[in-house]
Amino acid sequence: MDYQKLLEDIYSQVLPLAGEGKVADYIPALAKVSPDHFGMCLNNVDGEVFAIKDADVRFSIQSISKVFALAMCLAVKGETLWKRVGKEPSGTAFNSLVQLEVEHGIPRNPFINAGALVLADIMLTSFENPEEEFLAFVRELCGSETVGYNDEVALSERETGFLNAAIVNLLKYHKNIECDVERVLRFYFQMCSVEMNCMELAKAFLAFADHGGDFRHAGIELTRSQIKRMNAIMQTCGFYDEAGEFSYLVGLPGKSGVGGGIAAIHPHRYAVAVWSPRLNSKGNSVMGMKALEILTTETSESIF
């Protein structure tokens, strides 16, 4: 497979969608991002890297960071993690309060905001220096020591994060948050503010694709079974309430973020990352979704 040519063909096919959707302007710092970026990178398990356009431009990965947080929490808590957060698709908006209230403070899955806030709380109680250890984990996965937090984005999200503040307080009311709510919020927003480019993101996700052996990175150890289960949750819950559509069109486990990024994997074959800031009504990248649909259609390869 000539992946380089395929990526170039994909870009020409998604280009007509360049004006559709809008950036996540409800986060002031993200509203400043040019909506016209497009980058894509594919890393296969043989170590080959294929990239086009703005694949080397860093962006705020936002909710994609929840995959890294889940890996760290699963490593320290094992199966007991699922007592505090579920494994089911939400079927509602990623920042819904209604479902959380009905289900007595147990978030549906780790990738909606409520679930990720619980992950942040677990990390705060499980690691001595969670901010440093989270960043060290991400840096080792992607092989770059310059990946870091964007304090402007984190502050911007905290200053406008009223709904997330409501969510974490509701979680606290239901005794599913142990730490101070302000501490949890600030750490959660900091994780979301991590900036990576498509090349770094694809390499980081390759660890979850190529899981034939042991997973040991920056002190985090996961079994093959745990990686398999993480991939399953990415498949069913990784795209807010559009996970079913992504499975139908693309057929790969993955995770999106409102910064316009999407990372996905084909187990034992490759990891791919795409970035285009314009989002659809569900919060997923318009061009990114289409690019990955074309990738699996043209190669006739998905997990199904």
Query: Which positions ≥6 away from 120 have C-beta within 8 Å?
Result: 69, 184, 187, 188, 191
Task: Quickly count: other Cβ atoms within 10 Å of residue 176's Cβ.
Answer: 21
Which residues are catalytically annotated?
Answer: 63, 66, 188, 240, 258
pLDDT at 212: 66
Of 192, 208, 237, the domain-final residue:
192
Of 125, 157, 192, the domain-final residue:
192
Tokens of 265: 């994997």
Tokens of 271: 């990891």
Residue in 167, 169, 165 with CA at minimum distance from that of residue 97? 167
Give strand ranges (E) for the chain: 39-44, 49-53, 59-60, 195-196, 215-217, 220-222, 254-256, 261-266, 270-275
Question: pLDDT tens digits, residue range 184-241?
Answer: 999 999 999 999 999 999 999 999 998 767 899 999 999 999 999 999 999 999 998 8
Label residue 263 by pLDDT band (50, 70, 90).
very high
Question: pLDDT tens digits, residue range 244-258?
Answer: 999 999 999 999 999
**β-sheet bridge partners, residue 53:** 39
Of 166, 192, 218, the domain-final residue:
192
Residue 259 to residue 208: CA distance in whole angstroms: 21
Whether 101 and 53 share a structural domain: no
Residue 112 to residue 98: CA distance in whole angstroms: 13
Residue 21 to residue 35: CA distance in whole angstroms: 9
Q: Is 183 exposed, middle or buried (0-12, 13-18, 19+ CB in 10 A)?
A: middle
pLDDT at 210: 82
Average pLDDT value for residue range 18-34: 94
Whether 130 and 234 share a structural domain: no
Whether 128 and 227 share a structural domain: no
The domain containing residue 174 runs over which residues?
Answer: 64-192
261 has pLDDT over 70: yes
Residue 56 identity (one-letter amino acid) = D
**β-sheet bridge partners, residue 49:** 43
Whether the CB-CB separation of 43 and 265 falls below 8 Å is answered with: no
Average pLDDT value for residue range 141-146: 97
Average pLDDT value for residue range 30-55: 96
Whether 156 and 84 share a structural domain: yes
Whether 84 and 188 share a structural domain: yes
Whether 47 and 167 share a structural domain: no
